[in-house]
Amino acid sequence: MPTHVLVPFDGSPLSEEAVRYACTEFGDRTVTVLYVIDKGTDETAAIGWGDHPGEWEEWLEDRRDHARELFSTAQAVADEYDVTLQTGVAVGPVARMTVEAAEAYGADLVVVGTHGRPLLEEFLLGSAAETLVRRSPIPVTTIRTRVED
């Protein structure tokens, strides 16, 4: 039975469902919510850094502020189950940083939300959750919702 559960959280309904599941199934254990700042996938990231001194640092601080807002949302979900969440922020590619955070925090299970896309579409589009499942040295539970066509 896991003692520490890590839940990547981006504020999406899928990540809220992952928090809900972690709290329902493992609420009496340590649950850590992780927000990953990924300049490669974040819509607020600038195409070219360095036009203005401090631009990168300002953007990172803005994303950290955003993470704190998201953690409030995650905690509101956890409050429904009387669970207090731990939080963490990482910077880099989502799947890699989630694996590294799981190791750093001593997590022994990752719970992640994923779309229930048809297999071909999932293969063509790729998925951070799918990459995480393949690369994680610890078990990953996927919380799946079906995407309607």
User: How far are the Cα atoms of 12, 43, 101, 139 from residue 136, in angstroms, in the given order?
Assistant: 22, 26, 11, 7
pLDDT score, position 33: 98
Average pLDDT over residues 66-92: 97
Is it the case that residue 134 has pLDDT exceeding 90? no
Query: 96 pLDDT band (50/70/90 cuts)?
Result: very high
Average pLDDT over residues 62-91: 97
Is it the case that residue 31 has pLDDT exceeding 80? yes
Is it the case that residue 18 has pLDDT exceeding 70? yes
* Rg value, the chain, Cα: 16
Q: Does domain 4-146 have CATH number 3.30.390.10?
A: no
Query: 5 pLDDT band (50/70/90 cuts)?
Result: very high
74: helix, strand or coil: helix
Q: Can you give the pTM of this predicted structure?
A: 0.86
Is it the case that residue 42 has pLDDT exceeding 90? no
Would you list the domain boundaries of the chain? 4-146
Query: 114 pLDDT band (50/70/90 cuts)?
Result: confident
C-alpha span between 125 and 70 (Å, rounded): 26
User: What distance separates the 2 farthest-apart alpha carbons in the chain?
Assistant: 50
Is it the case that residue 28 has pLDDT exceeding 90? yes
Query: 85 pLDDT band (50/70/90 cuts)?
Result: very high
C-alpha span between 102 and 106 (Å, rounded): 6
